Amino acid sequence: MNFIKGVGFVCAFQLLFLCTAFSQTFNLGGENSIIMEHITNLKLVKAKTILAEQTLNSPQNVALDYLADCIDYYTLVTDPGPNIFNVLESAKSARLSRIQKLPSSSPYRLYAVAEIHLHWSILKLSKRDYLSGAIELREAYQLLEQNNRLFPSFMPTKKSLGFIKALLGTLPQNYAWILNIVGLKGDYNEGLRLIQQYLAQKKFPEEQLLDKQQADFYYTLLHFYF
């Protein structure tokens, strides 16, 4: 009898663990749309204030980890000081770990992780930390390729995957070694086509506010400057 009780306890514990492990959600709606709006307008202090409140109210919503990284990304784009860079990057691993606990059925699991790697790739490459930036870029690229295969109708993936493909396709010859190190191959026309495919949507969901802003920027940058 004690053995049966023991087995029952272990099974119950395992079930509780599994339920906890997959209790993470990804929700960009409601108040979080206000956070995104502040980010797009670079009102980062306001965005942080609401984010802190939402984190207390919805600790299992890992979309907040993604938004926190977006805030850090734009903070460093506008103020690329070396001291603040190291402080903000230290939060990356914990955010990635929480997002990766989303169920595999969520198209946001791989996408959000890839976006965070893409953010830090851009930041590191801009600091001329080419090797580390290229490794982050490879991670983002591979995750986006996988997500595009798993969820072909999930449009935000195409925006970021297209940007990376097009960007790699425009690298000057003296930076070709980066492609060799990370084993990537660019395709400008294919990349631009993917971004256009994303922008061709007739209606953009509320949760794609940041994605739409990025897609517009990527398309303008690639179409007019490369």
161-186: pLDDT as tens digits: 999 999 888 887 777 777 777 788 88
- Does residue 222 contact residue 188 with C-beta atoms inside 8 Å? yes
pLDDT of residue 6: 45
pLDDT of residue 186: 86
Which stretches of 22-154 are DSSP H helices? Answer: 31-40, 44-57, 63-78, 82-89, 92-99, 107-126, 130-150
- Does residue 98 contact residue 24 with C-beta atoms inside 8 Å? yes
Contacts of 199 (CB under 8 A, 6+ apart): 215, 216, 219
Among the ranges given (27-36, 89-98, 108-117, 173-182), the one the predictor scored with the smallest mean pLDDT: 173-182
Identify the band that residue 14 occupies on the pLDDT scale cut at 50, 70 and 90. very low
**CA-closest candidate to residue 197, choices 167, 153, 164, 138:** 153
**CA-closest candidate to residue 96, choices 143, 135, 138, 132:** 143
Identify the band that residue 20 occupies on the pLDDT scale cut at 50, 70 and 90. very low
pLDDT of residue 69: 98
Q: Which two tokens stand for residue 95?
A: 């955010």
Compute φ and ψ for 61, nearest 5 degrees.
Answer: -85, 100
Calculate Rg over the CA atoms of the chain.
Answer: 19
More confident residue, 106 or 23: 106
Tell me what the pLDDT averaged over the chain comes to. Answer: 88
pLDDT of residue 5: 43
pLDDT tens figures, 27-77: 999 899 999 999 999 999 999 999 999 999 999 999 999 999 999 999 999
- Does residue 68 contact residue 99 with C-beta atoms inside 8 Å? no
| Helix (H) or strand (E) run with residue 155 in it | helix 155-169
Contacts of 154 (CB under 8 A, 6+ apart): 107, 111, 147, 148
Among the ranges given (13-27, 105-119, 165-179, 189-203), the one the predictor scored with the smallest mean pLDDT: 13-27
The whole-model pTM stands at: 0.87
In angstroms, the CA 48 to CA 215 distance is: 23
**CA-closest candidate to residue 185, choices 157, 164, 160:** 164
